[in-house]
């Protein structure tokens, strides 16, 4: 893979966790679910215990959308439900991805054939974004 929709290095490159997270969301929202899975996995590996389940849930959501794209209803349900289970828990302070609306839309997608839910950056409690987080995916 060469460049990416977020303007950063390709998944598996030398990007740090923040760049990999932005890249993962951009790839997911561009419908490049396998590549999003790979980029988010890099973040998951580098994450702390409080965030690991949430990153894993986002990875599983990307896998679920790949199954949906390929017409695999069973894979969509299994991965989608696993993602919902992991993402339904509390989001630690500073977690950069919005999960509440995402989980609601993911349930509608998995259980009722709704549209693919977008992954979005979270709005920090103080309204300011950390350096490097543009909020655009």
Residue 30 pLDDT more than 60? yes
Query: Does the pLDDT of residue 132 top 50, yes or no?
Result: no
Please determine, for residue 135, whether its predicted confidence score (pLDDT) is greater than 80: no
17-26, 54-63, 91-100: which is most confident? 54-63
Q: Which residues contact 55 (CB under 8 A, 6 or more apart)?
A: 40, 43, 44, 47
pLDDT value at residue 127: 55
Task: Specify the CATH number of the domain 17-112.
Answer: 1.10.3450.10
- Residue 32 to residues 44, 51, 79, 116, 131, Cα–Cα distance (Å): 18, 23, 17, 12, 26
Q: What residue ranges do the domains of the chain occupy?
A: 17-112
């Amino acid at each position: 893979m060469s460049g990416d929709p977020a303007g950063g290095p390709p998944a598996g490159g030398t990007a740090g966790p923040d760049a990999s997270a932005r890249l993962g969301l951009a790839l997911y929202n561009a419908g490049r679910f396998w590549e999003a899975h790979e980029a988010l996995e890099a973040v998951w590996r580098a994450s702390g215990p409080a965030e690991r389940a949430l990153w894993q849930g986002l990875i599983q959501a990307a896998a679920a959308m790949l199954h949906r794209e390929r017409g695999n209803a069973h894979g969509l349900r299994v991965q989608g439900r696993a993602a919902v289970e992991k993402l339904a828990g509390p989001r630690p302070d500073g977690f950069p991805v919005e999960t509440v609306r995402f989980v609601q839309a993911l349930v509608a997608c998995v259980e009722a054939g709704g549209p693919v839910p977008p992954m979005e950056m979270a709005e920090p409690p103080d309204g300011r974004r950390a350096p490097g987080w543009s909020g655009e995916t």
